[in-house]
Structure formats: structure tokens, C-alpha cells
Chains A and B, each alone.
Chain A
Amino acid sequence: MTDMRTEYSKTLIEIGRENPNVVVLGADTTDSLKTSGFGKEFPDRFFNVGIAEGNLVSLSAGLAASGKTSFASTYAIFLPGRAVDQIRNGIAYPSPPGKKGLNVKLVVSHGGLSVGPDGGSHQQIEDIAIMRAIPNFRVFIPADTFAVSKLTRLMSKEYGPFYMRMARSQTPVVHSPSQEFQIGKGITIRDGNDCTIAACGITVRMALEAADSLQQEGISCRVLDMFSVKPIDAELLEKASRETGCIVTCEEHNILGGMGSAVAEAVSERYPVPIRRIGAQDMFGESARDDEIPLLLEKHGITSFNIAKQVKELRSKKL
């Protein structure tokens, strides 16, 4: 198990050494996000604005408008969940001639239900929907620390607004160190013909486990890491629809507007097949101690067991 925030911090410092234009901003969560490490090495390029997320976003925009590459970080619940106007009108909308949006990367941790003990008020299950709906934004949900590191680098090189959501808890490794990540390209982690499981973030591991157990029953599943929720890899999804005939999605997000919705939208336009979306069924989360987080996720059906169950049911509904 590895820690996404540690990896994010490490990568930021590396990028900071290579690129003097990178600035990092936080809102009184810089120890938690571990961005304070950047601040120690580059005190002039690090700004802690206090508990003021709107300020955090607008300040990042001002720096970006003046040639900086801004990384602004705090918890998911306080960025899209709180500062959506500043994000929309301050980062996404302002477009210098020939460009789309300002060069700000919003990187959050504590996405989804797996936040655990802080409770439903702090479990951001709407951020993908919010961020996906804002023009010019691209949205990433990395599954492991390799993804975090590579996507952080990718964002630092690619102009424009990005949103990246990390998990609070330590995460298992699902990718190989050599895995490449491209904007708008999903990753086929495992091939299969009977059904496709599309996942992102911590559910990628669950998808793989479900595929393992189904394998023992003779069902061959394709597993996709749809880390790039926007732009979504419609081509890959179309191929999966044609070749496997049905798709189960799983995410720790409301099923309305999340990754599952993005998949369903792409598939229904390109090659409709039966789809089932696993996630919070339009309801909020609640507190759960760290060791109880699996129970919380289970309550919302976010388990490998439920993925496997849904795959089996859905196969019978194939067209």
C-alpha cells in the first residue's frame, strides 16, 4: 500500500526543481496534503492562504494569468464542493487568446466515501459531476501512486485547467511503474470478452478482484482504468461494448454525473449495450472508522463482490 499524497508531494518537488514557474498553493491543509514539503524547498513559490478556498482558487488564477503553473490543493469537499464559482469563472472561463482556461491544476485528496471517519459532510461524492460539467476542465482520478506521479507530471507540462482527485487512504498498486498515461486514454488493465468493468481510483483494485473471482467461474472480464474521466476514452469504450457486450461501472461517487455517467453517455451514443452503474445511489455517506470503511463502501455496493454480482446479472441482459 502506498500513499498518494506523499507521491504527489515528492513529484511536485521534482517538478519544482525543473520548472521555476511552478507554484504551489494550499489552504491550511498543506501538512495533510504534504505540499508543505514543496514550501520548505521553495518558500517563495509556496502560498498558504489559510482556510479560504475561494481565495485559494482566485489567487491561483492570478498567478497563472501571470505565467505561473499553479497547483492548488486541499480536500475535495472544499474545492469543487465549495468554490465552484471561483473555479468556473476564475479558472475555466478566462481564456487568453488561443488558449482554453488558465493554467491551474486543482489537485485534491479525500475524494469519495473512503474519507471515512470525518463523515458524510466531508465525503465528496459530487466532484466528478461538478468538474466534468465545467468546460475546459479535464478530470483525472488516479488509481495508484504511479498514476499520481505520472499524471502530476503530465499536468505540469500540459497547458490548461485540470482537476485530479486522490484518495485519503493508502492505496494498493495496480499499475506497473512503466505504465504510460495519456489524456483521454483509458487503460486496459486486463483483457476479457464476456463483460467490461470500468473503474477509477480505488475501485480499480476492486474491479481486478472481481475479475479474478469471475475468472474462476469461467467468466472473462475486461478491466478498464478510466482515470481520464474527462475527456473520456470513447473509442476504447466503443471497442469494449462491441467486444464484450455489457459494461459495469464502479466508483466512489454519486452514480449521477460521475464516471459511470460519462461511460454511459459515450456508449449510448456510439454502441449501446446494457450498462450498470455502481456507486452512491444518490445518497450521502456517513462516518466510518478506518477499519470500517469497507463496511461503508459495502453499504453503497462498492465492493468486488457486488461488481461480480452485477456482472453476472448484466450478462443475461446482453442484447
Chain B
Amino acid sequence: MGLNYYQIKKNVLKARKLVIRATNNAGSGHPGGSFSMAEILGCLFYKYLKYDPKNPTWEDRDRLVLSKGHAAPGLFSNMAVAGYFPKSELDTLRKFGSKLQGHPDLKCPGVEFCGGSLGTGLSYSVGIALAGKIDGKNYHVYTIMGDGESDEGQVWEAAMTAAKYKVDNLTAFLDRNFIQQDSYTEKIMPLDERLDGDDLSEMWKDASRWKTGDKWRSFGWNVIEIDGHRIEQIDAAIAKANATKGIPTIIISRTIKGKAVEHMEDNPQWHGKAPDSDVVPIIYDELDSQFMIAPSIIAGDMTNLENEVKRCVAGRADYIHLDVMDGQFVPNKTFDHTKIKELRPLTVIPFDSHLMINEPVKHVRDYVDAGSDMITVHAEVCDESSFGEIHDFLKQNQVGVGLAINPSTDLPAWSYKFIPTLDQLIVMSVVPGQSGQKYIEATHEKMRSLKSVLNDNKFSGYIEADGGVTLDNIGSIFADGARAFVGGSAIIGQQDVRGTIREFRNQVMKTRRKLLLDKANELGGTELVKKWIGLHIVGEKKDQIKKIAQEAGYL
């Protein structure tokens, strides 16, 4: 089975939008903690949890206990996306007569735990896990706790109890976002180390200061520490936890409160506050503007691809783009699935296999078996029937479905029926087959018009720009509509991959901020522009955005 990467990402996006809609509608609620655990819930709901929305009390279902109950909007949004109730029901959140209470409640079928009074969910989960053991059931209990919540002594009572009774059918997540209601956790009650200044990144940079894992280890738990926004890391951690017998597992997930909305990120103010209505459309746009950067390793040292993979991982790439060329569809030859299979054990980072080969329908199974998480085939060598076969096969295997078109190819008529479920569309901006080419300028216009065609056809995937992407043009390609960027020599050809990827990100962010300022100006003129800028109180964001606004003439 693949990672189900794109499906999870798409659903996480839907859920985040619903959190904004629901809390805005309610006029209160907790978006910050809902967003920090968004990817964790995404992996659980759309990959691991066994449940039946039509039969919420199904005896063998897995149990999801949201101990940090104030993040209820995050839970409810995913329940809506998963089909427990219509999305429109989120408009009743926190209102009189609603089953969607301010905190999760058994009133809402499918909710397992009345959370909100912090520190009690883990004990409760141990109870559920023990009941499962008594009854010989195979269900698993997943419990999500907050780091502020860890101030509660009962968390540690439960930790000891879980170890004593060896509840290996329980996996806890610590949503380690470093923020609690009053301020940063390390100021209020340090879990790692006391933080004296206001720079939270201090805690992130210096792993020697992280003590939380040691605490749990000393309580007899299997501890896995991950980046809680990286789907592949969450996925691998859950798989490892489920395979660990005899002791409970905690997945300490370093997260960002308010993740995915810049002004909410790492900002304690957004622990429990709803966004204003005038800002909501800007937030929606921002959520739609999440992007990814993927180095293409064939532009590196072909004799040592293992090392190139490692450089991508260390460089914090979002995923790795693997260009497979067969010497027939394109003149060059690179590698095939056997190489991918060799590289797979090196990392859990998603592999995006771009098959520049003839008759992909005959080979796609090999690439799934090799461990691809996304597979893209070329429209030039598919038709409705063969692509349909590929599409269904990949979906069944939870592998992302991509379609690529060459610079001279238009989106074929047969492909339209697949657009709503397509995960990725690669718009080639160079002639495939060789690296080092320049971005074909006509691609800008092509992508913009494709973007509107895709929108009209309910596309919910990512447009991937592949070929000639550089620091100079990435901003404008983002503006055209691309949300995933393959970088060849411009990234992997550089000495400092991590620094280069950071520069690429900064460049996209600059454009993104400008586009969001455009939106603010369009909706509410200078006043809304000022208001939106004013929300960015953490770090240097405000000054940076102000500068962009001045350059654009909005201030």
C-alpha cells in the first residue's frame, strides 16, 4: 500500500477550511490546536483508523480519543469529511441545540470521549485499551494529547498505568506545538527546558534541549519523535507503533500551532479565537496556496543516487521527484523501478515517480511495488482506457495519480473525466528527456489557462511545474497556479540543498504574500490590507509583508 499522500493532503485541506468556516460561524473556538494536529488526524482518518460512519458504534472500530478536547473543530471537520455528518452541520458548532458542542461530546455519534477537562484522556484511553484486551478485540486506541495538557499530573499517572498493564493496543500522540493558553509551554511549565526569550525557534533548533521524549521513555514507553506535519513521518511512526508489542507507544510530534495560516502560526493568540469574517476569504486563499518543493535527483550525481536522496532528505525537500526514462518515449535512459526499489529503504520521504516511458499501463504495477507514493504517466502514451486502468489501480493502492503533458500537448479530451480525482498534473515546461533546459516561457500562459479549466472541472490536486524552475521564475509559476515545483540542477545541482530549498520557499512565500495582499485590497481596500498585515505579530513577518504592500502601492 502506498502512503495515500495526496488523498490525505486533500482531505487535510478540506478539514482546515471547515475549521475556519466553523469557528468563524461560531464566533469562538480553537483553530490553533486544530491546525497543529491536522496532519495527524489526516493520517489517522484517511489511512489507519478503522471506522464506519454509518455504524459509529461498530464494536471492532478503532477508537480515537481527542484528549486535547478544545481542538474539537479539528475533530468535527474530519468527521464531516469522513462522512459522519454533512459538512453544513459544522455551521452549528458551539450553538444551541447542536450535537457539535464546544468540546467533543458523545452527543455526536462517532465521538469517543467527552474531552475538554485536560489530562484525563489518556487514563480513559487505557481503560478502553484494557477493555479491548479483556474482550480479545483487535481494535486500536489512538489518543491525541496536547503539550500544555501535559502539565496535568494525571497524564503521568496514566503513563505509568499504561506501561504497567502493557497496553500495546494504545498509541498516543503528543501534539508538541509549544504553545498553551497563556504563552509558550516552555515559559509556563517547561516540558523540555525553560525558555527565557520569546524566540520559540530556539527550542526547535537545539535538539539537545528536548527532554520530553526522555520523560516518556523513563515512564516505560516506546517513544517515536517526528515532524508532526509530515505525512510520511506520521505514517511511518504509526506503522512502527502498531508493530511494537508489549509496551505503549507515544509519537511526539513537533508541530506548529495554527499551521498553514501564517498569522496564526506559532502565535499564542490563536489558541482560542475565531477568525473575523472579512479575513476568512484571505485565509481560504492562503490554505489553497500550500506548496511543495521536490528536487529531481537525476540532475545530481547519477552514479550515486543514494547520496542524492540523502541530500534531499537533509535538505527538507517535501518529496523526491524520480524521472524514469526508457530511451524510447524520450531519447535518454535513466533508471527503472529496480533502482527505485533500491532507494526506497533509505527514507520514508514520498517518492514521486514520473514515468517518461512508453506503454506505462504495462509497467505501473512495478513502480507501485517499488514503493512509489505518486506515479505520473504521460498523456501522450495513454488513452482513456489505459489511463482509466492506471488510475483505478493506483487509487486502489493508495498511490497518488498523476498525469503529465509535454509542452506541445494540450490536456486531452479523454482526460477530463479524471480531473476531479486526479492528484497531480505535471505541466512540462521543458521538452522531457534531458536536464539543464530553460523554462519555456509559453508555459506561463498555458498553465494559467489550464488552471481555470481545472477549476471548472473540480480539480482538487496539485499542478506540478517540471523543468527549468529557478529562483527567478518560481514566484511567477506559483502565481500561474502551480503548487508543486520540481527543481533539477537549480536545487540538487547546488552545494547547499537545504539553503537552496529555503530560498525557493522564501521566493514562493513572497509571491504568495503579494497575492494575498491583492486579495485583501480587492475585498476591503487599504483598511483590510492593514488589518491583515496587523495580524502577523510573530517574528518579522509584519515588516516583511508591509514592505511588499508598500511596493505594491497598497500602503
A: which residues have CB within 8 A of B? Answer: 23, 44-45, 47, 49-50, 52, 54-55, 57-68, 70, 85-86, 89-90, 93-97
Contact = CB atoms under 8 A, between A and B. Distances in A.
Pick from B119, B127, B157 the residue with the most CB of A within 10 Å. Answer: B127
Given A54-B123, A61-B124, A94-B105, 16 more contacts: A44-B133, A45-B134, A50-B160, A52-B154, A54-B120, A54-B157, A55-B161, A57-B123, A65-B124, A65-B128, A66-B63, A85-B117, A86-B117, A86-B123, A86-B154, A94-B114
Nearest to B123: A58
B124 A62 contact: yes
A159 B253 CA distance: 39
A299 to B, nearest CB: 36
A94 B131 contact: no
A89 B117 contact: yes
Interface string B117-139: 10111011111111111110000
B158 A66 contact: no
Nearest to B125: A62
Contacts of B381: none
Contacts of A70: 127
B107 interface: yes
Contact of A58 (B116, B120, B131): B120
A84 to B, nearest CB: 11
Query: What is the interface residue range for chain B against chain A?
Result: 20 to 34
B157 A97 contact: no
Nearest to B165: A47
A58 B106 contact: no
Contacts of A93: 114
Given A49-B161, A55-B154, A94-B114, A68 B124 contact: no
A59 B113 CA distance: 12
Contact of A63 (B63, B117, B127): B127
Interface in B160-208: 160-161, 165
B161 A67 contact: no
A61 B124 CA distance: 6
Nearest to A60: B127
Contacts, number: 103
A57 B124 CA distance: 8
Ranked 5 nearest A-B pairs via Cβ: A62-B127, A58-B123, A66-B131, A55-B157, A52-B157
Contacts of B153: 54
A65 B127 contact: yes
A68 B114 contact: no
A47 B112 contact: no
Pick from A47, A49, A86 the residue with the most CB of B within 10 Å. Answer: A49
B238 to A, nearest CB: 21
A70 B113 CA distance: 17
Contacts of B119: 54
A96 B106 contact: yes
A155 B157 CA distance: 28
Given A59-B126, A62-B126, A97-B106, A90 B114 contact: yes
Pick from A45, A54, A55, A94 the residue with the most CB of B within 10 Å. Answer: A55
A197 B153 CA distance: 45
12 contacts: A47-B165, A50-B160, A54-B120, A55-B154, A58-B154, A65-B127, A68-B134, A86-B117, A86-B154, A89-B120, A90-B120, A94-B114
Contact of A61 (B63, B105, B127, B129): B127
Contacts of A52: 154, 157, 160-161
A64 B113 CA distance: 12
A74 B113 CA distance: 24
Contacts of A57: 123
B355 to A, nearest CB: 47
Contact of B161 (A23, A50, A64): A50
Interface of B: 57, 63, 105-107, 109, 112-114, 116-117, 119-121, 123-135, 153-154, 157-158, 160-161, 165
Nearest to A90: B120
Given A67-B135, A68-B131, A59 B161 contact: yes
A111 B288 CA distance: 60
Nearest to A96: B106
A66 B114 contact: no
Contacts of B165: 47
For the complex, would chain B's binding face be called helix, strand, loop or mixed by DSSP majority? helix
Given A58-B127, A62-B127, A94-B106, A89 B116 contact: yes
Nearest to B63: A66
B128 A62 contact: yes
Nearest to B130: A63
Given A47-B130, A62-B124, A94 B161 contact: no
A65 B158 CA distance: 17
A59 B123 contact: yes
Contacts of A86: 117, 120, 123, 154
Nearest to B69: A89
A62 B131 contact: yes
Given A90-B120, A94-B114, A63 B158 contact: no
Contact of B134 (A23, A54, A90): A23
A65 B114 CA distance: 11
A90 B127 CA distance: 12
Contacts of A66: 63, 127-128, 131-132, 135
Nearest to B114: A94
A86 B160 CA distance: 18
A205 to B, nearest CB: 38
Pick from B117, B119, B120 the residue with the most CB of A within 10 Å. Answer: B120
Contacts of A94: 105-106, 113-114
Contacts of B107: 95, 97
Contacts of B123: 54-55, 57-59, 62, 86
Contacts of A60: 127
A72 to B, nearest CB: 10
A218 B124 CA distance: 58
A223 to B, nearest CB: 41
Given A50-B161, A54-B154, A94-B106, A63 B120 contact: no
A275 B57 CA distance: 49
Contacts of B132: 66
Contact of A44 (B114, B117, B134): B134
Contact of A55 (B106, B135, B158): B158
A93 B123 CA distance: 17
A3 to B, nearest CB: 29
A89 B103 CA distance: 11
A66 B63 CA distance: 10
A29 to B, nearest CB: 15
Contacts of B126: 59, 62
A140 to B, nearest CB: 24
Nearest to A92: B114
Contacts of A62: 123-131
Contacts of B130: 23, 47, 59, 62-63
A61 B134 CA distance: 15
A85 B117 CA distance: 8
Nearest to A85: B117
A33 B125 CA distance: 25
Contacts of A50: 157, 160-161
A50 to B, nearest CB: 7
Contacts of A54: 119-120, 123, 153-154, 157
Nearest to B161: A49
Contacts of B116: 89
Nearest to A102: B106
